[in-house]
A and B are shown apart, each in its own frame.
Chain A
Amino acid sequence: MPGRPLSRRTALGSALAVPVVLGACDIDPPRRESESSPATPPPEDSELVATVVASLVRAGALLDATTTEVPGLAARLAPVGAAHAEHLDVLVGAVPDAAVPTAEPVSVPPRIVPALAAVRRSEQRLLRDVREACLAAASGDLARVLGSVAASTSQHSAALATEVTS
C-alpha cells in the first residue's frame, strides 16, 4: 500500500516535533510549547521512544528464539510478532536517525509450556515499559500512539494467557 508507512511516520513524527506539554495540573488543557524549535523532537520524548523500541526489539528477539526452539508455537506467536514489527516500524520512523538496537541473545526452554510462560512474562514486561513511556510522554499524540501499543500488547497478552493443551 504505497505511501501508508510514510504517512504513519509523518503523523507521529509531527507529533514528536510539535509536542503537547502539560502543566502540573492533571486536568489543565494541554498547551503547545514548541514554537521556538518546531523541527526538533523533544529530547525526553525521543528517549521514551528509544526505550520502547529497545523493549520491542528485546521482546521480538524472544519471540524469534521461541519460534526457532519450539516450532509448535509458531502459529500462536506469529500475530504477536507481526504487531511488534508494525509498532517498531512506526516508532523508529518517528525519530530521525533512530538506531534500532541489536537484541541480546536469549535462551528459550525447549518445551511448550515453559517457553510460552517466558513469552508471557516478556510481553508483560513490554506492556509495563510502554505504559511508563505513555504516561511520561510530553506529546499527547505520542501518548495516544503508545496507548494504542499498550492496548494491542494487552490484547495479545490476553490471547497468550489461554492454556495450551499440547
Chain B
Amino acid sequence: MSTLDALQATLADEHAAVYTYGVLGARTSQSATPTLYDALTSGYRRHRARRDQLQVLVDEAGGEPVAAAAAYELDGRLLRAPQVEAAARELEVASVERLTALVAQSSGTVREWALTEATWSAAWQLELGGEPQTWPGAPELG
C-alpha cells in the first residue's frame, strides 16, 4: 500500500467517522447527559478537522480525495447513552488502527500528523469510558 493509498483509506474512514459522530450527537441529550454530549461534540470537531486535513494531504499527494458515501450503516442499537458512548469509543479504537497504519506508510510531516492524531484518538477513548491499552492500533502484538 502506498502513502497515497493509506491516506485515501484513512480519509474514507474519516468520512464515516464524521457521519457517525453526527448521528451519535443527534441521539444524545445535552441536558440529560452533558458530559457525553460535550465529548461527542469535541470528537465530531476533531474528526471533521482531520477529514479536511486528509483531503488536503491527498490532494498534495496528487490524488483525488475519495468522496463520502451518502450514508453509513451503524452497528447495533444506539438508543441509550452507554450504547452511544461505546460506539464512539469503538470508532476511536478503529481510528488508532488506521492512523498507525498511516504512520507506517509515511514519513516526515505526514507521519508526524498521523502520530499526533493517533495519540489523540487513543487518549480520547478515556473520555468515552475506555481504559488504557498496551497496544492500541496494533492489537496483534497483545
Interface residue ranges, A against B (CB under 8 Å): 8, 11, 20, 22-23, 25-30, 79-80, 82-83, 86-87, 90, 127, 131, 134-135, 140-141, 143-145, 147-148, 150-152, 154-159
Contact = CB atoms under 8 A, between A and B. Distances in A.
A80 B132 CA distance: 9
26 contacts: A22-B106, A22-B107, A26-B109, A27-B60, A83-B132, A86-B134, A87-B134, A127-B119, A144-B138, A145-B138, A147-B99, A147-B115, A148-B136, A148-B137, A148-B141, A151-B96, A151-B118, A152-B122, A152-B132, A152-B134, A154-B119, A154-B120, A154-B123, A155-B122, A159-B126, A159-B131
Contacts of A157: 123
Given A148-B136, A148-B138, A150-B115, A29 B123 contact: no
Which of A25, A27, A140 is packed against the most chain B CB atoms within 10 Å?
A27
Contacts of A82: 134
Contacts of A80: 132
Nearest to A15: B104
Interface in B95-141: 96, 99-101, 103-112, 114-115, 118-123, 125-126, 130-138, 140-141
Nearest to B108: A26
Interface majority SS on A: helix, strand, loop or mixed?
helix
B7 interface: yes
A159 B114 CA distance: 22
A90 B135 CA distance: 11
Contacts, number: 123
Contacts of A25: 108
